[in-house]
Amino acid sequence: MTDSVSSSGTDPLSARLRELADYLSAPAAGRLTEEQRALSLGIARRLVADVAVWLDLAIDTDGLWFEWLRKGVPGAERLAHICFARAEEHRWREQSAQRTPPPPILADTGEANSEAAVDAPMSDIDRAYLALQIADRRRFDALGHPALAIADLDGEVFRGLLRDVAAWRLAEVSQYQARAAQLGDAVRLATERHAAERGMADAGAAYHKILGAGVSEAAGQAITRHDWPTLIALAAAALGSSYDDMALTLLTAETAALPSLLAPLHLDRTALAPLEASLAMLPSRAVADHSARNFGEMLAPGRDTQ
């Protein structure tokens, strides 16, 4: 049997030598585990498929993804940050779900009390928290796999990915003048639709605002019950950052940096203890050196947090 150059046109030997050279240049550096790689890749694939469906229902999302896998995913660096952040958050939540006992089942206090609870109107705070939970649920696919909701994408990231998908589709339908023209309209409509979407950052900001002076207590309760999405959303709102940036910063922070990072939530060290313990138990966690950086500046909108 004769070995051939890969279908992507890349010499497999050259690729392996580059990988080995990268390893030898920093052999002690932490690298992706197979779990991190698989989670991030799956999240990227689901995101590409979702954006493609927004653009044109007739797109063969499997064909698109496998061709990109062969040739290289466009804008890979643009996607790496958000996909890795989502994958690490999912690993953290899965670990907490396995280690945290389920909440106790409350005793039956009578049918009359149950009916009263059903009839009681939700408070504004409860509605805001429900909206946050709904936004979080959109970050999973129908089978419960972690995903990125399009509403959570930064406008620049969404437009870049949309253009890449559109370019791939245009190469397929370029011989059909009418369909190619419709593609431009589809890009415009998808961009307008995305601008009106509201995701985790928006829901977190609304929840943070309505809590008012109760933010510290709500954040402490979120830590106690290992409700990490709520904690991340509140911290993101307090610092004015995106949800993904806040998630990755929190997940990669040194334990000693947590009080400074979460200072706007006014949590005491006792309240932070379960958070510190949970992060310490997360295997293969990539800890970044944020010691010399100001978290408020680092997470300000428009700043590069990588």
Task: Examine residue 300 and state whether it is found in any structural domain, yes or no.
Answer: no
Residue written as tokens 């504004």?
124
When comparing pLDDT for 148 and 16, which is higher?
148
Q: Which domain holds residue 89?
A: 13-99+123-280
Q: In 3-state terms, what secondary structure has residue 199?
A: coil
Count the helices and strands in the chain (H runs, E runs): 15, 0
Amino acid 84: pLDDT: 95
In a domain, 289, yes or no: no
Q: What is the DSSP letter of 252?
A: T
Identify whether 159 is part of a domain. yes
Binning pLDDT at 50, 70 and 90, where does residue 112 land? very low
- Residue 259 to residues 166, 217, 243, Cα–Cα distance (Å): 44, 16, 19
* Residue among 79, 80, 42, 49 nearest 64 (CA): 49
**Percentage, residues of the chain above pLDDT 70:** 83
Q: Whole-angstrom Cα distance, residue 233 to residue 262?
A: 12
Q: Is the residue at 76 inside a domain?
A: yes
How many other C-beta atoms can be found within 10 angstroms of the C-beta atom of residue 55? 21
- Which of residues 292 and 44 earns the better pLDDT score? 44
| Model pLDDT, residue 23 | 73
Average pLDDT over residues 195-223: 96
The structure tokens 């008012």 sit at: 212
Inside any domain, residue 299: no
pLDDT in tens, 145-174: 999 999 999 999 999 999 999 999 998 887
Query: What digits encode the pLDDT tens for the residues 235-281?
Result: 999 999 999 999 999 999 999 999 999 999 999 999 999 999 999 99
What DSSP designation does 267 have?
A: -
Report pLDDT digits (tens) over 27-81.
666 688 899 999 999 999 999 999 999 999 999 999 999 999 998 899 998 899 9
Assigned token pair, 244: 């993904």
Residue 262 in contact with residue 254, Cβ under 8 Å? no
Query: Which has the higher per-residue pLDDT, 109 or 125?
Result: 125
pLDDT value of position 10: 63
Give, in order, the Cα–Cα distances in Å from 243 to each of 212, 246, 247, 267: 20, 5, 6, 19
Within a domain: residue 228? yes
3-state secondary structure of 80: helix
Considering Cα of 239, then 242, then 247, then 249, what sign does the dihedral take? negative
Total structural domains within the chain: 1
Question: Residue 179's pLDDT is what?
Answer: 77
Residue 101 in this model has a pLDDT that exceeds 90: no
- Written as one letter, the residue type at 284 is S
pTM higher than the cut 0.85: no
Measured between alpha carbons, how far is 52 from 58 in angstroms, rounded to an integer?
A: 9
Query: Rounded to an integer, what distance in angstroms lies between the CA atom of residue 283 and that of residue 33?
Result: 10
Note the pLDDT of residue 137.
Answer: 97
59 domain-assigned: yes
Q: What's the pLDDT score for residue 177?
A: 75
Instruction: Establish if 2 belongs to a structural domain.
Output: no
